[in-house]
Structure 1
Amino acid sequence: MELRAWCAALCAGTMGLVGCGGGAGTNQDSGSPGAGGPGAGGHGQGGDVFGQGGNIFGQGGGSIGNGANGASGGTGGNGPNGSGCQHVDVVFALDNSSSMREEKQSMREVVFPAFAQALLDISGIQDFRAAVLDACPRPANFHTRGVGGDCSFQSGKSWMESSSTDILGEFECAADVYSNDVECSSNNDDEQPASSVAAALEPPFSNEENAGFLREDALLVVVAITDEDEQPVPRQQPQAIHDRLVAVKGDAKNVVFLGIGGKTDCEGAYGSADEAEDMQRLVDTFAADNRGFFWDLCEGRLEDGLTNALTAIEEACEEFVPVVN
């Protein structure tokens, strides 16, 4: 599928991110009226690629009590008691070992740019931010440069903001992962993407290099990719990594985790991949709350993995309630 066609499909699927007040559609031209309670919109728009009713014509109340300005006018939410997703914080962690050349090329040239464009095309979402790091947690700072040099994020931060006028260029730069400053030995200790995200969102990095990234009223989406397996150093069980990621958001339902790796040992579209047993077990810990999704590298087409993960993002957005510490 060419980029333009895929992006259109992804944009349609991602409409579920902001469909927090409409009723369920049935892949028809129009869905049932919104039924989200006091924050519901007047009309739910019908069928996206998941058969769900979005509601750009009157979105429900947001997590901070703001109704969206749909064409048919949604009413406001219930202030702090409102629920819904209007902000999204995304972290991509990419194994940067030499065997990942094909995957990195796809992320850089197709997946990252298309995902950024899809987020920009969402009607109703207030904003998003996105950060990139490799699979070594030493250091677990977000990347502000690619192999070609500094990415010059317009945000002036170590992450990208949706307000950037060059968000596609910023994604392309950051996806060309530069990791010559890591302290990992490259002896399997640089293949722990999920652990790296957890470290990036915890002290000391959350108080220093990555300070200010996480927002209390934003859904956290983690995308971790490796062609081997999650190999934490020191060793941790998948449940422990899950608990670390959930702790930074206060509620398991406020985190969506997409793990990308080999379902089995294979020679796939991106070359060889080892069975990512621990990555699959980690996804399973999130799947208990319908927040986990695994994509098999052996199948190729990383863009399809993100598209399919939007079902989990959609549900998480509908149920999101900020936890104020």
Structure 2
Amino acid sequence: MARCPKEKEYSMDLRAWCAALCAGMMGLAGCGGDPGSGQDIGSPGASGGGFTGGGASGQGGDTFGGQGGGILGAGVGGANGGIGSHGEGSTGCEHIDVVFAVDNSRSMHEEKEALRGIVFPAFAQALLDIEGLTDFRAAVLDACPLPANFHARGASTEDCSFQSGKPWMDSSSTDITGEFGCAADIYSGDAQCSGEDDDEQPVSAIAASLEAPFSTGDNAGFLRQDALLVVVAITDEDEQPVPSQPPQALHDRIVAAKGDARNVVFLGIGGRSACEGAYGSAEQANTLQAIADTFTADERGFFWDLCEGRLEDGLTNALTAIRGACTEFVPVPN
């Protein structure tokens, strides 16, 4: 496990951040929109070092390397600029299923604080603001795949009281941000991992959650045939599959749940290098980056550098990819 995290007070006015987020979304219609213009809200900075996907990040760039775009827009040169509304021959998506797996080791204290207080609630609101989206549902689990049941409680509470009545959150909830905050207090009291690095398998945990026996047990009914699947794996170490599996095998397990790689968006959040970053120490996440790379052929795989901090940027910038995937989504028949 990563040692001696550097303490850092993580502070942000959530209301102000949400206001900036909403401002960045003004003028966008449908899944995707006209290229953005003006200031880059929450960009990775001059080095462009935070978020990478189908193209390298440029100076002051958006998710896909364009310049001058907002956090949800595609600036000049951005690969996904001007997607517009659903194209001919594509049904588009109206539903999104999101699965988060978070490393729950002690070195993740700062990251979990940020997720609970700022990132998850703001991400939920940003999803609700996507035009054309009817609903979303979201599930959370820790990074131990035994068991890979979605969590309906947090570490400090017996029950998150999801209004869905299921072990996942539904956008119809009147307290969706509160539910996200509760779930971000990651519970792993039922984990059967030893704690010797086998509890740091967020991608393996996601894959297992979408397979039998978990997909036919407590998680049954979560995945919808007509929904885009978004998976987010977060760790300050690296994916360490037990037993060992190559990145492509983990890719294939997740895609098998949807039948088509184009209907999956993958976001890995970890250290691009070993560092003492905004949330303390992080190890280089080579395997997690390699897994993200397996999704890039369809422009569905992305990696956010934990060393850069600002987890909220990693998740909100991923919305650009989600919007793009929505325009191309076509349900795969059973």
TM-score under structure 2 length normalisation = 0.80
Deviates more, 1:108-117 or 1:120-129: 120-129
Amino acid at match of 1:107: L
Indicate which of 247, 256, 260 corresponds to 2:256: 247
Runs of 4+ in 1 over 3 A off after TM superposition: 8-18, 22-28, 51-55
2:273: which partner in 1? 264
- How far did residue 122 of structure 1 move? 2.9
- How far did residue 23 of structure 1 move? 6.4
Secondary structure of the residue aligned to 1:124 is coil
- How far did residue 18 of structure 1 move? 7.0
1:305: which partner in 2? 314
Amino acid at match of 1:113: P
Asked if structure 2 preserves the Cα contact closer than 8 Å seen for 1:137 and 1:200, the reply is yes
Secondary structure of the residue aligned to 1:150 is coil
Asked if structure 1 preserves the Cα contact closer than 8 Å seen for 2:73 and 2:320, the reply is no
Alpha-carbon RMSD: 2.4
1:164: which partner in 2? 173
Q: Does 1:50 align with 2:74?
A: yes
Alpha-carbon separation, structure 2, partners of 1:140 and 1:15: 38
Task: Name which one, 1 or 2, has greater alpha-carbon Rg.
Answer: 1
Indicate which of 154, 166, 184 corresponds to 1:175: 184
Alpha-carbon separation, structure 2, partners of 1:134 and 1:13: 32
1:204: which partner in 2? 213
Closer, same or farther in 2 for the Cα pair 1:144/1:293, shift >3 Å? same
* Equivalences, count: 286
Amino acid at match of 1:27: S
1:4: which partner in 2? 15
Asked if structure 1 preserves the Cα contact closer than 8 Å seen for 2:36 and 2:73, the reply is no
1:35: which partner in 2? none
1:146: which partner in 2? 154
Alpha-carbon separation, structure 1, partners of 2:37 and 2:236: 36
**What aligned pairs does 1:77-96 form with structure 2 within 5 A after superposition?**
82-96=90-104
Gaps of 5+ in 2: 1-11, 39-69, 76-80
Secondary structure of the residue aligned to 2:321 is helix
Amino acid at match of 1:258: L
Alpha-carbon separation, structure 1, partners of 2:302 and 2:274: 19
- How far did residue 3 of structure 1 move? 2.2
Greater RCO, 1 or 2 (C-alpha within 8 Å, sep 6+): 2
Alpha-carbon separation, structure 2, partners of 1:197 and 1:128: 17
Asked if structure 1 preserves the Cα contact closer than 8 Å seen for 2:90 and 2:327, the reply is no
2:4: which partner in 1? none
Higher percent of residues as helix: 1
- How far did residue 24 of structure 1 move? 3.7
- How far did residue 299 of structure 1 move? 0.5
Amino acid at match of 1:150: D
**What aligned pairs does 1:110-149 form with structure 2 within 5 A after superposition?**
110-147=118-155, 148-149=157-158
Asked if structure 1 preserves the Cα contact closer than 8 Å seen for 2:262 and 2:300, the reply is yes
TM-score under structure 1 length normalisation = 0.82
1:70: which partner in 2? none
